[in-house]
Amino acid sequence: MARTLPLIEARHSTLLVEDPATLWNLGPERYSKLAEKYRELAPENKQIAVDINVVERYQDVYPTKKQTGVELLELVHQAAASFGRVALYFENSLEKQDLALLPVAATTATEKAIAPDQLATNAPEPTRVAWNGPAEIDGKLWPLASSGFVLAPAGKHVLSVATSNPGVIVNDFNGQIRSASADVSHAEIAYESRSRAIALLASPVSKIEVDGVPLADSDKLSAILPAGRHVVTFSR
């Protein structure tokens, strides 16, 4: 495994660690123990994910034979806190009543109201923050938002109420946001991505540029953006 990890990084891949049944008796604690062992092999390698097997267990376990409810949510939360990514095996084994709570369980972000119209966030990854209306982040009009949410970047930031909506709104974006800004006619996102990044827009735009070069083959309502570090600009 130690020899494999450098290849994972070089190939821009993700190593998916199995959730071993021999450790299921430890409950959520097992993920921190697994992560600690892998950090001994690769302290800086963040491209390690863990797989949670949501199946009928062969051991005598309580309160349920299969992980559900609070037990499942605790597993997901601890796994997300310990690894860079969490996979759930498998989708159809999850109980319907648990699905809507999984995103909340998986987040390790924190938020704190610091004024009636301001919110401080601290997150290791880009995080959706419940928010109504236009927003500013660190004093800049913020273009990454969807109905009822703002997509805030990783790190420590301050969200505050904006007086108007940006001219271009990006509903969803799966790259690592380094910075973003907007005005009445443009939105600009500096991002980093190990693979192609995808941006979904609230309404069509007239032009999309990456590092100042027009993006070809764009439907002006979405964009498939190149891997690496780039700046994408959307113009009305």
CB neighbour class for 30 (10 Å; exposed up to 12, middle 13-18, buried from 19): buried
Last residue of a domain, one of 71, 91, 106: 106
Measured CA to CA in angstroms, residue 210 lies from 43, 160, 176, 183 at distances of 33, 28, 15, 18
Please indicate, yes or no, whether residues 102 and 114 belong to a single structural domain of this protein.
Answer: no
CB neighbour class for 60 (10 Å; exposed up to 12, middle 13-18, buried from 19): exposed
Q: Are 211 and 236 in contact (CB under 8 A)?
A: no
* Tokens 């996102």 found at: 189
Last residue of a domain, one of 106, 135, 166: 106
Tens-digit pLDDT profile for the chain (236 aa)? 888 888 888 887 889 999 888 888 888 999 999 999 998 888 776 789 999 989 888 878 778 889 999 999 999 999 999 998 999 988 899 999 999 999 999 999 999 999 999 999 999 989 999 999 999 999 999 999 999 999 999 999 999 999 999 999 999 999 999 999 999 999 999 999 988 999 999 999 999 999 999 998 767 899 999 999 999 999 99
The three-point CA angle 82-83-84 to 5° equals 135
Number of domains in the chain: 2
Please indicate, yes or no, whether residues 96 and 118 belong to a single structural domain of this protein.
Answer: no
Please indicate, yes or no, whether residues 97 and 125 belong to a single structural domain of this protein.
Answer: no
Q: How many Cα atoms within 13 Å fall on the side-chain side of residue 36?
A: 6
Q: Are 183 and 141 in contact (CB under 8 A)?
A: yes
Please indicate, yes or no, whether residues 173 and 226 belong to a single structural domain of this protein.
Answer: yes
Task: Tell me the pTM.
Answer: 0.85
Please indicate, yes or no, whether residues 126 and 221 belong to a single structural domain of this protein.
Answer: yes
Last residue of a domain, one of 45, 78, 106: 106
d(CA 99, CA 91): 9
Please indicate, yes or no, whether residues 116 and 205 belong to a single structural domain of this protein.
Answer: yes
Please indicate, yes or no, whether residues 75 and 152 belong to a single structural domain of this protein.
Answer: no
Please indicate, yes or no, whether residues 138 and 230 belong to a single structural domain of this protein.
Answer: yes
Please indicate, yes or no, whether residues 96 and 115 belong to a single structural domain of this protein.
Answer: no
For residue 229, give the H/E element and its range.
Answer: strand 228-235
Helix (H, G, I), strand (E, B) or coil at 138: coil
Please indicate, yes or no, whether residues 149 and 91 belong to a single structural domain of this protein.
Answer: no
pLDDT of residue 171: 97
pLDDT of residue 45: 67
Token digits of residue 226: 């190149």
> Which domain, by its residues, includes 141?
110-235
Please indicate, yes or no, whether residues 39 and 148 belong to a single structural domain of this protein.
Answer: no
Please indicate, yes or no, whether residues 198 and 91 belong to a single structural domain of this protein.
Answer: no
Measured CA to CA in angstroms, residue 183 lies from 141, 142, 204, 233 at distances of 7, 9, 16, 12
For residue 160, give the H/E element and its range.
Answer: strand 155-161
